[in-house]
């Protein structure tokens, strides 16, 4: 038996509770992991609360991240005792995830825990930080350099935004943070932002084109915010889009793209090929200041994760929430 958050849906309704789970209930897979730490992400919040159609079958253990040690393996790349990390691949949605003390998985989904990080530090980064790194890699791939101008980061006080600011500032970029929580200004400046802008400047419908400002962007919000960021991006600037916290719609025009040559680069962390995941984690090991992880994250137990899921969706959780599944 092991403890985990179990989401159930039946005639009694939709509910998530911490339960004792029998090992026999674990799904198919060629690697069994003794989980040390997981995280609470926006998608986990949707799954736990039932406020989004994230979970595709029931019962389900949520948790799109995990770090732990291999307990059993028939996969050629892993043996008992190996330290591993998992992000994405649909776990916590269609396959049992990391918010439990055990997980059984496809070994192809795992990556070795980078030597520079402890399991807890790896989860302080988690899917959010790994997604932020994919955005930075996309900016670099499209030619955006530190001297090209300001990079705007939306949802700046959240998990993706926090890590994006920390990485970009360490790489020498000038970072401007957009947040709906002005009380977080000191936190964002500590991470490396040089200016803090109010979210309301971007969240209302805007013009097809506005004054050029941004050389690049990392957007987790979508909707009018993404449209307004694109409209104010400089000639041949690059906007990376990786989230929909403000909505799935994109009420823009083609004007930024055909008149200013702006690139809108989509970033998907769920099905990202393994080779790119390894590069992203390698770069996090060199380009993220580990000392800032303490400011970015906090650690809670499984019992605390369920009420925090509601707070996360309400936008009242700062940075990263690491879940110690054995606490």
We report the CATH number of the domain holding residue 10 as: 3.90.180.10
| pLDDT exceeds 90 at position 295 | no
Closest CA to 325 of 292, 302, 295, 305: 302
Residues 140 and 261 placed together within one structural domain of the fold: yes
Residue 177 and residue 94 share a domain:
no
For every residue of 176-196, DSSP letters joined together read EEEES-GGGHHHHHHHT-SEE
d(CA 44, CA 56): 13
| Whether the predicted pLDDT of 291 surpasses 90 | no
Residues 315 and 214 in one domain: no
**Structure-token match 């929909």, residue found:** 244
Q: Would the pLDDT of 319 be above 90? A: no
Q: Which of 104-108, 214-218, 311-315 has the lowest mean pLDDT?
A: 311-315
H-run or E-run covering 69 = strand 65-73
* Beta-bridge mates of residue 327: none
Judged against a pLDDT cut of 90, whether residue 293 lies above it is answered with no
> Residue 176's pLDDT is what?
98
* Mean pLDDT score, 49-56: 93
- 133 and 26 in one domain? no
Quote the number of domains for the chain: 2
| Cβ contact 225:247 at 8 Å | no
Q: Is the domain of 20 the same as that of 97?
A: yes
pLDDT band with cut points at 50, 70 and 90 for residue 52: confident
Whether residues 252 and 311 share a domain: the answer is: no
Q: Give the pLDDT band of residue 209 (cuts 50, 70, 90).
A: very high
Averaged pLDDT of the chain: 96
The whole domain housing 76 covers 2-113+293-324
How does pLDDT run across 26-38, given as a tens digit for each residue?
999 999 999 999 9
In terms of pTM, does the model score above 0.85? yes
Q: Specify if 271 maps to a domain.
A: no
Map residue 159 onto helix, strand or coil: helix
């Amino acid at each position: 038996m092991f403890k985990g958050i179990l989401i159930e849906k039946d005639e009694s309704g939709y509910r998530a509770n911490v339960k004792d789970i029998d090992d026999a209930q674990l799904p198919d897979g060629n690697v069994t992991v003794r989980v040390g730490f997981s995280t609470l992400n926006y998608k986990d919040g949707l799954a736990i609360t039932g406020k989004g159609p994230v979970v595709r079958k029931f019962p389900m253990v949520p948790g799109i991240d995990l770090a732990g040690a291999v307990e059993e393996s028939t996969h050629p790349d892993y043996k008992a005792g190996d330290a591993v990390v998992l992000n994405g691949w649909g776990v916590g949605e269609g396959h049992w995830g990391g918010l439990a003390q055990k997980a059984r998985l496809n070994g192809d989904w795992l990556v070795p825990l980078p030597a520079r990080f402890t399991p807890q530090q790896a989860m302080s980064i988690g899917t959010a930080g790994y997604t932020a790194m994919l955005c930075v890699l996309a900016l670099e791939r499209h030619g955006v350099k530190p001297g090209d101008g300001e990079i705007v980061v939306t949802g700046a006080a959240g998990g993706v935004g926090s890590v994006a600011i920390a990485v970009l500032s360490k790489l020498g970029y000038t970072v401007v943070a957009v947040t709906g929580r002005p009380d977080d200004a000191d936190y964002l400046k500590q991470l490396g932002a040089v200016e803090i802008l109010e979210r309301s400047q971007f969240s209302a419908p805007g013009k097809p084109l506005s004054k050029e400002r941004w050389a690049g962007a990392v957007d987790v919000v979508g909707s009018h915010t993404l449209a307004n960021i694109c409209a104010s991006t400089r000639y041949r600037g690059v906007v990376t889009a990786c989230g929909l916290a403000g909505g799935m719609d994109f009420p823009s025009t083609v004007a930024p793209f055909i008149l200013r040559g702006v690139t809108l680069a989509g970033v998907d962390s769920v099905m990202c090929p393994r080779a790119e995941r390894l590069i992203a984690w390698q770069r996090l090991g060199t380009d993220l200041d580990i000392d800032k992880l303490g400011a970015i994250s906090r650690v809670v137990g499984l019992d605390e994760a369920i009420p925090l899921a509601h707070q996360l969706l309400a936008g009242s959780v700062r940075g990263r929430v690491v879940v110690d599944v054995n606490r």
